[in-house]
Structure formats: C-alpha cells, structure tokens
Amino acid sequence: MILIQILYLIASVLFIIGIKMMNKTKEARAGNLWSSVGMLIAIIATLMQINMVSITEILACIAIGSAIGLYYAYKVEMTQIPEMVSLFNGFGGLASVAVAISDFWLKTNVNMLSMGIIITISIILSVFIGAITFTGSMVAFLKLNGKITGNPITFKGQHLINLILLLVFIGASVFAGVNQLDTTTIIILTIISLLLGILTVLPIGGADMPVVISLLNSYSGMAACATGFILNNNVLIVAGSLVGASGIILTQIMCKAMNRSLINVLLGGFGQTVTKLEEDGPEIIVKEVGVEEAAMLFDGASSVIVVPGYGMAVAQAQHVIRELYELCEKRNIDFKFAIHPVAGRMPGHMNVLLAEANISYDKLIEMDQINDEFSNTDLVFVVGANDVVNPAAHTNPKSPIYGMPILNASKARTVIVSKRSMGKGYAGVENELFGYPNCLMLFGDAKQTIGKLVLALKEL
C-alpha cells in the first residue's frame, strides 16, 4: 500500500512538471512526455491493486486502446485536431459518468451498503459535470467538423428551459442527499445533465469555440476529480484538479483575449445578430493585388509579419508558408508570425499547425509582445484571419467585437490579405481593414496563391 501511494505521488509530481513545461513552446513536447510517463506510472500503480480482473484482460484492453489511439494519431489531419480534442474531452466526461454509475450500482446492489454523504455528492457531481462534458463536447465536435452549423442555434425560451432543468437537478440532488440515492433518481440526474450539455453548447457560435473547448477540458478535469473521490484515488483527484484548474485559467485567458465574460460566451455567441448600423454602413472598397505584384512587395520589404488564421488551417497552407518564410530568411528579411490567442478553433491552434510545418518556435510571437511592432513593419501578410485583425474592435462602438483585443495589422506600411472571398468572419461583421488604403487583397485558395507567390519571388 505504501509503495502504491509513493508511485501515485511520483505520478502527481510528473503531472505538475509536465503542465509547467507546457507553458513554453520549446518545452511543450518534453512536458507532454513527462506527463505521459506520470500517467503510465499511475496506471501501473492502479493495476497493482486490482484483483477482479486478470493481467491478461488488462493487457488486452491496453493493447486495444493503444492501437486505436495510434491509428487515429496517424490518420487525423492537423486541421482536425480541434475536433479530436473535443472528442477527448467528451470521452473523458463519459468515463466519469460510467464510473459514477457503476460505483453507485456496486454499492447499492452488490454490497447493499448505505452510501455516505461524501460519496453521494461525489457521484452526483461526477454525473452532472461528466454528462454535460460528454454531450457538450459532442455538439462542439459536430459544429467544428460541419455536421451542424457553426452559427448559434437558439430558440424562444431556451434559457428558461435550461434554468428549469438546473433547478430540477438541484431539487433531485437535495432529495437524494436527504434520503438515499436510488436508481430512478440517478437516471433522472443523468438525463437532465445530458440535455444541459446539448442546450448549453448549441447557442454558442463558431468564434467562441476556443473558449468552449478550453472550458469543456476544464469540465472533464473536474469530473475526473469527483470520480477520484468516489474511488478514493488520490492521483485521480490530483490529475483532475490540475486539468480543471488549468482549463479554467486558459478559459479566462481566452475570454480576456475576446474582451468578453464567460457568462456572455455561454449565453450566446458571435454571429447571432448584426446591427442595422453595420448593415447600412459605408461600402468597403477593396484593392486587389496579383501574385507578381505581391512578390515585388515581399522582395522590397525589410520586415514581414504573418498573421495566420483558421483559413490557413482550412487551406492547409502552413507548409507553403514555411517555404515563403525560408525564402525571405535567405533574403535577410526579418520574418515573424503574430499569434492571436483565439485564432483558429482551439487554444494554440496556429502554434500547432506552424510547428508541424517545422517553423522555428522563436518566430511565433504572442499578441501582447508583437502588437507594438506593427507600426514599424514594412509588410503584414494576413492568411485566413478576419476578426482578429478587424479595426472595428477599436473604432466602432456598435460592433459586436468592439473592445476585443486585436492584432494591430492595420498600422503596418502595407497589408496583404490572402482570402478566398470577401466573406465575413465568425463575428458576422465586415472587416474594416479590407477597405484601408494600405490594404491589398490577394484572392484565391491560400495554398495555391502562396505557392505561386513563392515561385514568383524566386524569379526576382
């Protein structure tokens, strides 16, 4: 028993070290490895306590799970990572629900023992948080991969229904705490929680997906922590607490980056309405640039900042951007990437894609550190980003994104925007930047147009 607790302690320390190392891009890969080692130690320590299942059965389950994980690790494209993270969060929540219900069944139907108040509360919390995490993550997954619309889905009385369901859940939980938690009550609590997960995420728009993913990640950690109390497993409590706390901190960072409160995100997302002022506003007149002209602008620049967005991920243009980056480096052009906290569909989405293209970590600069450099930059190249560079966040008090911290791309000497069309971003508003006198539009698929840009630049 002492050996097991020591192994759990070692695993917990490795989790903490791993999360700490993930704070820096250069150390993130090693931090992930240390956390994985910690999880392996925790699994081994847990297996040492199991008597009901044979080692053969355990190893078979590990082999099957590892094979599935390895298969999807190779199959899933980098652009599909947000959906994959949503599935991970969802299955984590489902596992917590399964453990809570099975432990309830074991204690009430097998051992015929009355559960204490701590175990009862832990089971209720595990079911509540885990079920919301599962169905909420599934809705987020469907929104991210386009199975259902990424726009907010609302209907009359939606918030009232959520409130009624929450009050019924609280009432049933109090009843279970005063009396004995029974099968009927646990079924009611599970169904309500599953419905709340769906109804909570449906009205959230695509622009808020980074916040939703980090919040659901936090939920999965809190559900695991509650499950740890059910099983009296210290390492599960520690690991769940770490994931829950780090997820909440990340969620707060995401909300700050959008200048929005968490309540505002949960009650309705960007893109739900556009004010009449914006619809009747002045027409944006854009200036288009060709590949050859764009190449000459790159050739004459001494400093370049690239602003990547979700459009880059859709076009899978990160590799051809690396070619552009290497070509500019050879010409002694100062080349950097400006990363907005909510660019893409998940926290760190752009960092992951650019790192996959073997772009140096020190070239990926966060918004707060690079915003002052735009005014001294010759050329800014916006690839698939929209709302995160929209000056309306500073200039239009009636805009849905007003007050949102953005990358100051408009302050550069010249801005080139690589975009398929004049379509709006997730906020559903026109981008004022496109009409600025220093802004040029390079229309077309990002991967194809940047590939042509690289070829044209090589010929200069």
Domain count, the chain: 3
Residue 286 lies in a domain: yes
Please check whether residues 391 and 359 belong to one and the same domain.
Answer: yes
| 70 in the same domain as 34 | yes
Contacts of 163 (CB under 8 A, 6+ apart): none
Domain boundary among 210, 243, 267: 267
As a whole number of angstroms, the distance between CA 327 and CA 295 comes to 11
245 Cα distance to chain centroid = 15
Query: CA dihedral in degrees (73, 338, 429, 318; nearest 10)?
Result: -40
195-219 CB burial, b ≥16 within 10 A, e <16: bbbebbbbbbbbbbbbbbbbbbbbb
User: Chain-wide mean pLDDT for the chain?
Assistant: 85
Q: Where are the alpha helices (DSSP H) in 289-417?
A: 291-300, 310-315, 318-330, 349-356, 367-370, 392-395
Pinpoint the alpha helices (H) of 145-290. 158-178, 183-201, 209-231, 234-258, 262-267, 276-279
> Do both 157 and 174 map to the same domain?
yes
On whether both 329 and 391 belong to a single domain, the answer is: yes
Same domain, 59 and 135: no
- Same domain assignment for residues 138 and 182: yes
pLDDT at 110: 61
For residue 283, pLDDT over 60 is answered with yes
**Residue 320, token pair as written in the block:** 């051809």
248/125 same-domain check = yes
Of the listed ranges 16-20, 248-252, 264-268, 449-453, the least confidently predicted one is 264-268
If DSSP codes are grouped into helix, strand and coil, which group holds residue 337? strand
Mean pLDDT of 320-327: 93
Q: How far apart are CA 112 and CA 130, in angstroms?
A: 25
* Bridge partners, 338 (sequence order): 365
Residue 266: its pLDDT value, please? Answer: 67
Q: Which residues are catalytic?
A: 387
Is residue 324 one of the residues assigned to a domain? yes
Residues 123 and 147 both lie in one domain: yes
433 neighbors 389 (Cβ within 8 angstroms): yes
My answer on whether 290 and 405 are in the same domain is: yes
Residue 30 in domain: yes
Residue with tokens 């432990």: 103
Look at residues 242, 267, 292 and tell me which one is the last residue of a structural domain: 267
Q: What is the pLDDT of residues 220-237, one digit of tens each?
A: 999 999 998 888 888 889
Which of 40, 75, 110 finishes a domain? 75
Q: In DSSP terms, which residues pair with 26 in a beta bridge? A: none
- Could you give the CA distance from residue 242 to residue 256 in angstroms, rounded to a whole number? 21
Q: Find out whether 356 and 423 touch, Cβ atoms under 8 Å.
A: no
User: 305 pairs with which residues across the strands?
Assistant: 336, 380
The proportion of the chain whose per-residue pLDDT surpasses 90, expressed as a percent, equals 36
CA-to-CA dists, residue 384 to 94, 229, 314, angstroms: 35, 45, 9
User: Is residue 272 one of the residues assigned to a domain?
Assistant: no
Q: Which residue is it, tokens 């690396």?
A: 322
pLDDT over 70 for what percent of the chain?
Answer: 90
The DSSP code sequence of 41-96 is HHHHHHHTT--SS-HHHHHHHHHHHHHHHHHHHHHS-GGGHHHHHHHHHHHHHHHH
- Per-residue pLDDT band for 427 (boundaries 50, 70, 90) equals low
- Give every CB contact of residue 111 below 8 A, 6+ residues apart in sequence: none
Q: Is 190 exposed, middle or buried (0-12, 13-18, 19+ CB in 10 A)?
A: middle
Domain boundaries, position 34: 1-75
Question: Are both 367 and 431 inside the same structural domain?
Answer: yes
Q: CA nearest 102: which of 32, 190, 11, 24? A: 190
The winner for highest mean pLDDT among 254-258, 331-335, 425-429 is: 331-335
Q: Which residue has the tokens 């990002």?
A: 446
Residue 88: count of CB within 10 angstroms of its CB: 15
The domain that holds 361 is classified in CATH as 3.40.50.1220
pLDDT range class, residue 190, cuts 50, 70, 90: very high
> Is the domain of 197 the same as that of 325?
no
Query: Within a 10 A sphere around the Cβ of 55, how many other Cβ atoms?
Result: 9
Answer yes or no: do 123 and 156 share one domain.
yes
Give a yes or no: residue 404 inside a domain: yes
* Among candidate residues 420, 422, 418, 413, the one with its CA nearest the CA of residue 442: 418
Q: Is the residue at 148 inside a domain?
A: yes
- Predicted structure pTM score: 0.78
**pLDDT value of residue 273:** 41
